[in-house]
Structure 1
Amino acid sequence: MAPILAIDADALEFDPLWLVERLRDGHRNGIGTVERLLLEEPGAPNSLLTWAAWQPGAALGAKLAAVFPGNEARGAGPNIRSVVVLFDWQDGRPLAVITGESFTRAKTAADSALGADLLARPNAATLAVLGAGAQAETQIRYLLAVRPSIRRVMIWNRTTQKADALAAALSLPGIEIGAVEDAEAAVRSADIVSCVTASRDPVLRGSWLQPGTHVDLVGSFTPEMREADGEAMRRARLFVDTRRFAVGQCGEFTQAIAAGAIAPTDVVAELAELCAGAEGRRSADEITLFKNAGGGHLDLIVARAFHELASCID
């Protein structure tokens, strides 16, 4: 039996657009069966997520992700640590074990970038990012990859020094990048707004959104977490990567539905349907919103891509 390939995702080099296209192809080929298990530490914000997916005739695998939101703030390393195991679809033998913090960051950013490519205006010029944690830099790079028309990036964070540090660390030719202290002003002038926080209270207000804005919500993955208020949900045309996880388990949807701001049927399409040709943005003035809720099928598509890339390198 061939040895199990140990892959360090942090050591892989590739164009972000390559991974976005792998996700697009993966959704066109069918996402198969997906399950999720969430364990939460009582009295603390820490959690363990298990994502499992099976694409018959293609692959099967699982990701374990330990989410400790306070790590970065106290200098204890990244907030998310993960390990992915990829199995052969024919006989179930393990093919690869993938580690490295960039795995989840790349998967998450590629998911949002594919959503933005399908929904944001082609001429989007200004990006506002709410949140300056570990995911934010990857999010910016992937969104810029699918919208090279962007020429200005504004970064807001509750702790201004983190926004300053991220802006200083990013050096992208021809693009103005800076930290801002006023989230409302940033959102009002943005064509794309990406929220990458672990907030339980909305950081994005619907009253701030201007016609034509595309909203990318990333941070929430429990009913208690929420980055956008009910007005943002009500005003936007709603899209998700997966209905099952976004509508049933993410606070933007669960809380807005409970308050009567939206209904589950207001979700127009999920990512696989958009990739298959479902109608996305209908006009330049329409507000679109994409909820990046995650899913084992996304991890599986990325794991297969990384396995093929690492196998070629070896």
Structure 2
Amino acid sequence: MIHISAEDIDRCLTHAGLVDILREAFRAGAVQPLRHHHTVERPQGSDVTLLLMPAWSDPSNGTGETYIGVKVVTVSPDNNTIGKPAIMGVYLLLDGATGEPRALIDGQRLTLWRTACASALAASYLAREDAERLLVVGAGALAPHLARAHASQRPIREIKIWNRTPANAEKVAEALRAEGYHASMAGNLDAAVSWADIVSCATLSSEPLVRGQFLRPGTHVDLVGAYAPTMREGDDAAISRSAVYVDTRAGATKEAGDIVQAIKSGALALQDIKADLFELSRGERPGRQSPDEITLFKSVGAAIEDLAAGIAVYKAFNGETGPH
């Protein structure tokens, strides 16, 4: 069994390439049981969430080569106060026929890549083709990946970063500027939402941050945080004004606070969810219908994304393919 580090992953992947890999993965499908959630109570501070996310190649799709993968992830909100990422984890890739361990992959970095690229995959169907202005809400480890991934699919010319702590937003903007992006810190969130063509939100917020009243016609909203029913990033107005799409129906309708709470309040009905990534990737349901339509994509993460990214990294690391 080989060990693949975060730096190895960065050498093995490109954002545009991984978007295409995820597109093919959603077209082909995989077996992915609903992920396991466990709350690890702490006597002091916030509880830790333990997530177990298994998936394996669907033998019915005729691809021949099969793999099994499982990701073990912890989400520790208090890590931000000590300068560590909230999300930690590892990914174990196994041979689908023999069960032999093939690779132990850095789960934190793999999650950043696949999460950002899943959002960019959705944006390839839902964001306007001329979208140039990107707002990233949140300044965690995922923020620069979201900026790079969206820029791989749309002609992003300007990026703004908003965070409750302005200094953290400026750090992300500075890092992106060093890569050649036109990036800056956003001072007022509502004004930045009104400015943006794409709003990509990745926070651990339990209260809505993106308010629907400030969304301009034609905006695409990408909600990545709020992975639990008690969390929320967009308000009811953002949901009710938008054509709503999700990564997976099973996950989003059970775990995503933005969807669960909106259904409970009546701002959204189950039948109002237009499509998931399987349907979009297979062309079974349409994406954006008009230039003025407001679209909203809610991501909670899917094990099929980890499996596809893990296989791609493993093959590139072994020299079976070039960087994806």
TM-score range relative to shorter protein: over 0.9
Could you tell me the TM-score, scaled by structure 1's length?
Answer: 0.95
Equivalent positions of 1:291-302 (< 5 A) are 291-302=298-309
| 1:205 correspondence with 2:211 | yes
Question: How far apart, in 1, do the equivalents of 2:219 and 2:90 lie?
Answer: 35
> Displacement, 1:236?
0.4
One-letter code of the match for 1:47?
A: T
Give CA-to-partner distance per residue, 1:143-184, whole Å, 9 cap, x none. Answer: 11111x111111111111111111112126764210011001
Question: How far apart, in 1, do the equivalents of 2:320 and 2:25 lie?
Answer: 22
SS in 2 for 1:34: coil
Equivalent positions of 1:1-314 (< 5 A) are 4-12=1-9, 13=11, 14-42=13-41, 44-57=46-59, 58-75=66-83, 77-99=84-106, 101-147=108-154, 149-171=155-177, 175-277=181-283, 278-312=285-319
One-letter code of the match for 1:56?
A: D
Alpha-carbon spacing, 1:245–1:100, altered in 2? closer, same or farther (3 Å): closer
Question: How far apart, in 2, do the equivalents of 1:56 and 1:251 lie?
Answer: 29
Aligned residues: percent identity?
40
Give CA-to-partner distance per residue, 1:249-277, whole Å, 9 cap, x none. Answer: 11111111111111111111100110011
> Displacement, 1:313?
7.6
Question: How far apart, in 2, do the equivalents of 1:172 and 1:140 lie?
Answer: 13
Could you tell me the TM-score, scaled by structure 2's length?
Answer: 0.92
Partner of 2:63: none
Question: How far apart, in 2, do the equivalents of 1:152 and 1:172 lie?
Answer: 14
One-letter code of the match for 1:294?
A: G
One-letter code of the match for 2:29?
A: G
> Displacement, 1:99?
1.5
> Displacement, 1:82?
0.9
Give CA-to-partner distance per residue, 1:254-305, whole Å, 9 cap, x none. Answer: 1111111111111111001100112010000000111111011111111111
Contact 2:88 2:107 in 1 (8 A): yes
Give CA-to-partner distance per residue, 1:213-233, whole Å, 9 cap, x none. Answer: 000000111100110011111
Contact 1:9 1:306 in 2 (8 A): no
Contact 1:34 1:54 in 2 (8 A): no
Alpha-carbon spacing, 1:204–1:113, altered in 2? closer, same or farther (3 Å): same
Question: How far apart, in 1, do the equivalents of 2:70 and 2:108 lie?
Answer: 16
One-letter code of the match for 2:122?
A: G
Question: How far apart, in 1, do the equivalents of 2:159 and 2:4 lie?
Answer: 33
Contact 2:91 2:107 in 1 (8 A): no
Alpha-carbon spacing, 1:63–1:126, altered in 2? closer, same or farther (3 Å): same
Alpha-carbon spacing, 1:100–1:273, altered in 2? closer, same or farther (3 Å): closer
Question: How far apart, in 2, do the equivalents of 1:267 and 1:152 lie?
Answer: 30
Alpha-carbon spacing, 1:87–1:282, altered in 2? closer, same or farther (3 Å): same
Alpha-carbon spacing, 1:172–1:152, altered in 2? closer, same or farther (3 Å): farther
> Displacement, 1:38?
0.8
SS in 2 for 1:50: strand
Alpha-carbon spacing, 1:255–1:100, altered in 2? closer, same or farther (3 Å): closer
> Displacement, 1:35?
2.5
One-letter code of the match for 1:10?
A: E
Gaps of 5+ in 1: none
Residues matched between the structures, number: 309
Contact 1:222 1:249 in 2 (8 A): yes
Question: How far apart, in 2, do the equivalents of 1:173 and 1:283 lie?
Answer: 33
Contact 2:243 2:273 in 1 (8 A): yes
> Displacement, 1:125?
0.8
Gaps of 5+ in 2: 60-65
One-letter code of the match for 2:205?
A: S
Alpha-carbon spacing, 1:153–1:250, altered in 2? closer, same or farther (3 Å): same
